[in-house]
Structure 1
C-alpha cells in the first residue's frame, strides 16, 4: 500500500507540475492528514495544474493504491487482526470495485449521476 500510494502521488504531482513531488509523497504516506490535503489541493487545483494525460501505469497505481487503502481501513475495523484478512478483503471486495471505478474510469459516470 505504501509503495503504490507513494508512487502514484509522485507521478501525479509531477504530471501536474509540482516542484516537490517527493515531498508530497512522503507527507501523503507518513502523515494522517497528508493524503487528504494533497487530494484537496488536487481537487481545487490550488498550486497544481490540470493533468494532460493519464498513462496505463498511472491507472494501475491508482487502482492498487485505492484498493489497498480501502481494504486497510475496512479490515482494521471489521476483520480480526492479521495480514491475511486484509489481503482477502482487498482481493475480494476492493480490487474489483476499484478496477471498475478507477482503471475503467467509471467514476466519471458515477460523478455525473450524483450531480444530476
Structure 2
C-alpha cells in the first residue's frame, strides 16, 4: 500500500534534492582541488548519473593528488553526502519497498547518520589546523 503524497514525503524529496546538490558541491570543490579542467561539468553530471559518479570516485580521482586541503564548506558538503547515503541504506533496510514509505523514513535515518558522518569526515579530512589532516 502506497502512502499518499504527504508533507513527510515532500520533506523526504526535498532532502533528497539537497543531498544531490551537496554531492555536486563536493565534487566541484574536489575536482577543482585536484586540477580538473572542467570541475563544473563533473559537479553537474556526477550527482545525476551513478556511473559518472562511480567513474569520478573510483578512477579519475585516484592518480590526482589534492593541490590544497579541503575547506569548511567542502567538509560540510561531504558530511551531508555521507549521511545521505548512509541514511538511504539504513532507511531502505527498515522500511517497506514502497518509495513513498522510504521517503518518510529516510529523513529520520539521515538525522541518525549525521553525527556518524560528521565523525567520519572529521577523522578522514581533519579539522583546519587539526592533527589528523595528513591522514
Q: Could you list the runs of 4 or more consecutive aligned residues of structure 1 that deviate by over 4 angstroms after TM superposition?
A: none
Q: TM-score, normalised by structure 1?
A: 0.77
Structure 1 residue runs without a partner (length 5+):
none
Q: Which has the larger radius of gyration?
A: 2
Aligned length: 105
Q: Which has the higher contact order (CA 8 A, sep 6+)?
A: 2
Structure 2 residue runs without a partner (length 5+):
1-18, 127-131
Map residues 16-27 of structure 1 onto 2, 5 A cutoff. 16-27=34-45
Q: Is residue 62 of structure 2 the alignment partner of residue 34 of structure 1?
A: no
> Structure 1, residues 11-51: CA drift from partner, whole Å, max 9, x if none?
11111111111211222111121211111121x22xx3423
Change (3 A) 1:26 1:106: closer
Task: Give 2:73's aligned residue.
Answer: 57
For the aligned residues, what is the CA RMSD? 2.2
Distance apart, 1:6 and its partner CA: 0.6
